[in-house]
Structure 1
Amino acid sequence: MPSSPPSPAVHTISICTVKPPPHPRRLCHLTPWDIAMLSAHYIQKGLLFANPPSSSSLDPQQLIEHLKSSLSVALLHFYPLAGRLVTEEDRDADGEVKSTSVYIDCDGQGAEFVHAAADGIKVADVLALSGDLPDFLRDFFKLDGAVNHDGHFSPLLSVQLTELADGVFLGWSFNHVVGDGTSYWKFFNAWAEIARAADRGGGGLSRPPVHDRWFVDGYGAPPLKLPLTDPSRFLERFAPPPLRERMFHFSREAVARLKARANEECGRGDLSSFQSLSALLWRAVTRARGLAPGQATSCRVAIENRARLRPPLAKEYFGNSIYPIAAPATAGELLAQGIGWGAALVNRAVAEHTDAAIRAKLGAWMAQPMVYPLSGFDKNSVMVGSSPRFDMYECEFGWGRAVAARSGGANKFDGKISLYPGREGGAWTWSCA
């Protein structure tokens, strides 16, 4: 499996498999939203914690054992993450493969847990408050370079706890076929809830996941029979050229001013903070690229389907339920107008993503199934992922709130923008590659 060379500063201490308690075997059939992710990378996000409990209250080994035991319980609730992908082939009388179906075999195979140490690296080094983000961040995550199809033989979840000189970094590699960013953060917040409850002698989840995968009507019962018979024809091992990545922080006041400015420019009041900030960065990247005035560009956004379907899916729906939408323009138009004009384009793209639009896209996919190639992204556009609505800083294991959220090298390319909530309410942080 492709992987970047390990950093000399980060070394592995131990690797083990964490399994859930015994439970009945289940099969989790995959939706078009899930299958489309087979060629993408695992989701890699993590949290930075400063000065967790010292040996006076909980030594590092106790910390690790506590994480493992609570992870085992979490995997019982989120059992697809402890499974493996399986592809079944449907052959004709001559032995030729006519179609395939992909599902998750949820038999408690387990998740990977890695204990590592980063020699001489401090919390301040990870924060990198000025300048580019450090390359060693990639080494805080396992399965670097893996595509989701690798979940046939690799764990669907890998957790790495890296000890720093004055803190720890908890990095997670999560197979994107299993779920989207909403599912990702719901799982890790649930794990943190279980860990905190164990400290108090309690247990259970306040909001258990919903595992009933949603399939659009009119195409038969799962499993889906797909013409994706040769993985070499739809999988790619995308590796971008060397990228520079930087974080930009916006205070609550700055976000409010930008939103007010965008709405004032357009004489309207419905442009959101997200749309205003997306337009600001779209324009900034387009200007920096020096695109010709007639060059087509777009701001693409990964958008939630759960609440837009009729009837809506449950908030606790565990799986993928996202689509990329696009706000198009020419570079000349975008730069000649104000931020409000660009925000209005994003606003319109969001408004047009209705139940009918979602079902139409699913119908088109069923007519011609495909997986998303990372290499297919338009080099003249920007892609906005993640969300300020994700509860990153509520993911608290009993050591206090995280100092910051960071990501690995997965799913990055020129023009990729990731949005994080700020640690202080109302503040936002953007990561730009």
Structure 2
Amino acid sequence: MVHLISKCLVKASPPPKHPAGQKCHLATWDLAKLSSNYIQKGHLYANVPATISIDNIIHNLKTSLSTTLHHFYPLAGRFSSQHELDSDGKVTGTFVFIDCNNEGAEFVHAEAKSISVEDVLAPNSDVPIFIQSFFQLDGASNYDGHSFSLVAVQLTVLADGIFLACSFNHAAADGTSFWHFMNTWAEISRTKTTVPSRPPVLDRYFMDGVKPPLKLPVSHESDFIDRFSPPPLREKMFHFTSEAIAKLKAKANEESGTNNISSYQSISALIWRCISRARRLPADKLTTCRVSIQNRTRLEPPLSPNYFGNSYNVLSMTALAGELLGNGIGWAAGRIHEAVVAHKDDTIRVIMRNWMESPVFSKLSLVDESTVAISSSPRFDMYGCEFGWGKAVALRSGSANKVDGKVMYYPGWEGGGSVDLEVCLLPKFMTALESDPEFKDVVSPAVPLHLP
């Protein structure tokens, strides 16, 4: 259904001003992501003005991407590794860094003229599997950035719209930096500026007293790279209106006797409870809810909001299934809230020190049928990516990092605090979730069709 038209490498222009072969060293947060997949996010655009040709769109995207890579120049490079050897020539450690060689980002032009915008939106249905073909580097681990580009873009021309997909190496940077990059690219494309309003801060953060490069106690990629393939999953988008979220948040706070529980914590507690119920876990089965949490504002002093790289941790809350479901939404939301409040500067530094003593890598195989893994954020400015042909009508992701129990946040298209969740479950669990009374009471009956 998707046909490749052309492929090329887009380099930073003008070339970044630094000595040839400059290394961008990776921090602990970056190295921890080497085993997982690229970030894959894409925008669906409908009703592109007839006065703008596809050739002009492609030319503008390539030109503006080249300028954007000048400011985010590590993304135009490739990973490189150096090994530490003992006196017998045996590898005792590995150093991984970005070689800022301006090899370029991949840009692909494709067509899928038999697919319409409404086919992609698929209201009331699962996310269509053909969307995976809109993304490059399916199945690649971040470590593969040694040979693959750190950014790979695919523009797919549909019957009545376009889909702009980006695969972005997660060991190079996190979701905050991904959306900073995407919004900068859109700004440069839309305004023709060469100086972005929010230049990235490229110097990596290392804990006091720690100097790069950081050595990984591994000799071969097989020691830490996990090539995991999940079983067939159902993926579905669920919409939460701002009114429904406000009621859910009020209920969670009332049950907890507080007013400090956030909308994010309330929704996360709901999905933790409902997926656990859908799985019909035994009452004595230990369940885990994992949520990503930003470190930039929690460090003392805080990092710049424009810090480019990874700067987040994953909080893990556990509860017996009987305990989780025997108490109300306020109890589960309270557990998440307590963990968030406790995540401060001293806690972050302990996590970093422990990681350096015993590195642990993010692996998809660690998410089992008792885990709900929540990522991304409704606070990311996803719909602010306007390249010059209007606002996107929807966001979708590729197959990367998809496992049973994976949940991803998106802001709702209409704004105002609305939220979309992308949920990935085994088919039998998705069917049970769709009919769960607590879930149905909050979620909207259909994904809105955002067409003029």
Q: Which secondary structure does the structure 1 equivalent of 2:231 belong to?
A: coil
Is 1:65 aligned to residue 87 of structure 2?
Answer: no
Q: Is the 8 A contact 2:137 2:152 kept in 1?
A: yes
SS in 2 for 1:20: coil
Structure 1 residue 130 and structure 2 residue 120: aligned? no
Q: Distance in 2 between matches of 1:160 and 1:203?
A: 23
Of the three residues 367, 384, 402, the one matched with 1:412 is: 402
From 160, 166, 176, the equivalent of 1:172 is 166
1:242 is the counterpart of 2:232: yes
Distance between the aligned counterparts of 2:363 and 2:242, measured in 1? Answer: 36
> 2:31 matched to 1:41?
no
Contact 2:367 2:404 (8 Å CA) reproduced: no
Deviations 1:83-122 (A, max 9, x none): 0000011222221112211100011110000001113111
CA distance in 2, matches of 1:255, 1:117: 38
| CA deviation after TM superposition for structure 1 residue 58, in Å | 2.0
Q: How has the CA–CA distance of structure 1 residues 81 and 303 changed in structure 2, closer, same or farther, with 3 Å as cutoff?
A: same
- Tell me which of 2, 7, 19 is aligned to 1:10: 2
CA distance in 1, matches of 2:226, 2:419: 33
CA separation in 1, counterparts of 2:5 and 2:380?
31
Taking structure 1 as the reference length, the TM-score comes to 0.95
2:255 and 2:351 map into 1 onto residues whose CA distance is: 33
Please state if 1:78 is matched with 2:72: yes
Q: Distance in 1 between matches of 2:370 and 2:180?
A: 33
The Cα offsets for residues 285-318 of structure 1, whole Å up to 9 and x where unpaired, read as 0111000011110211011111111111110000
What secondary structure sits across from 1:237 in the alignment? coil
CA distance in 2, matches of 1:215, 1:422: 35
1:53, distance to aligned residue in structure 2 (A): 2.7
Match of 1:5 in 2: none
Structure 1 distance, partners of 2:368, 2:346, is 26
Matches within 5 A, 1:182-331: 182-198=176-192, 202-219=193-210, 221-331=211-321
Residue 145 of structure 2 is aligned with which of 151, 157, 166? 151
Moved more, 365-374 or 305-314: 365-374
How many residues align structurally? 419
Q: Distance in 1 between matches of 2:215 and 2:336?
A: 35
| Residue pair 2:291, 2:314 contacting (<8 A) in 1 also | yes
The answer for the alignment partner of 2:86 in structure 1 is 92
> Bigger shift: 91-100 or 78-87?
91-100
- Distance change (3 Å), C-alpha of 1:83 and 1:352: same
How much identity, in percent, do the aligned residues show?
55
AA of the residue aligned to 1:133: V
Query: Per the alignment, in what secondary structure is the counterpart of residue 65 of structure 2?
Result: helix
The SS at the match of 2:382 is coil
The one-letter code of the counterpart of 1:174 is F
SS class of match (2:340): helix
Deviates more, 1:405-414 or 1:362-371: 362-371
Matching residue's letter, 1:31:
A
Q: State the shift of 1:168 in Å.
A: 0.4
SS for the counterpart of 1:255 is: helix
Partner of 1:163: 157
**Letter matched to residue 30 of structure 1:** L
Distance in structure 2 (CA, Å) of the matches to 1:267 and 1:99: 51
Residue 106 of structure 1: aligned partner: 100
Residue 354 of structure 2 is matched in structure 1 by: 364
Q: Determine if contact 2:288/2:319 at 8 Å carries over to the other structure.
A: yes
Give the superposition deviation at 1:266.
1.6
Q: Is the 2:67–2:194 contact (alpha carbons within 8 Å) kept by the matching residues of 1?
A: no
Q: Counterpart of 1:394 in 2: which secondary structure?
A: coil
The amino acid across from 2:233 in the alignment is: L
How far did residue 218 of structure 1 move?
3.1
Q: CA deviation at 1:61?
A: 0.8
Instruction: Structure 1: give runs of 5+ residues left out of the alignment.
Output: 1-8
* Equivalent position SS for 2:153: strand
- Cα separation, 2, equivalents of 1:418 and 1:372: 16
Give the match's secondary structure for 1:312.
coil
Q: Secondary structure at the match of 2:234?
A: coil
Summarize the alignment of residues 349-360 of structure 1 with structure 2, pairs less than 5 Å apart.
349-360=339-350
Structure 2 residue 363 is the aligned partner of structure 1 residue 373: yes
1:372: Cα distance to partner?
A: 1.7
* Equivalent in the alignment of 2:450: none
After the TM superposition, which segments of 4 or more aligned residues of structure 1 sit over 4 Å from their partners?
Answer: none
Alignment partner of 1:395 out of 380, 385, 388: 385
CA distance in 2, matches of 1:20, 1:87: 23
* CA deviation after TM superposition for structure 1 residue 349, in Å: 1.1
Residue identity matched to 1:49: Y
Per-residue Cα deviation, 1:104-154 (whole angstroms, up to 9, x for no partner): 001111000000111311111111111211000100100000001110011
Q: Is the 8 A contact 2:39 2:167 kept in 1?
A: yes
Q: In structure 1, how many angstroms separate the alpha carbons of the residues matched to 2:84 and 2:266?
A: 49
Give the Cα separation in 1 of the matches to 2:114 and 2:216.
Answer: 50
Q: Which amino acid aligns with 1:74?
A: T
CA distance in 2 between partners of 1:58 and 1:129 (Å): 28
Counterparts of 2:240 and 2:366 in 1: how far apart (Å)? 31
For the Cα contact (< 8 Å) 2:37–2:140, is it kept in 1?
yes
C-alpha deviation, 1:267, in angstroms: 1.7
CA distance in 1 between partners of 2:392 and 2:52 (Å)? 18
For structure 2, the 5+ residue unaligned runs are 425-452
What's the counterpart of residue 335 of structure 1? 325
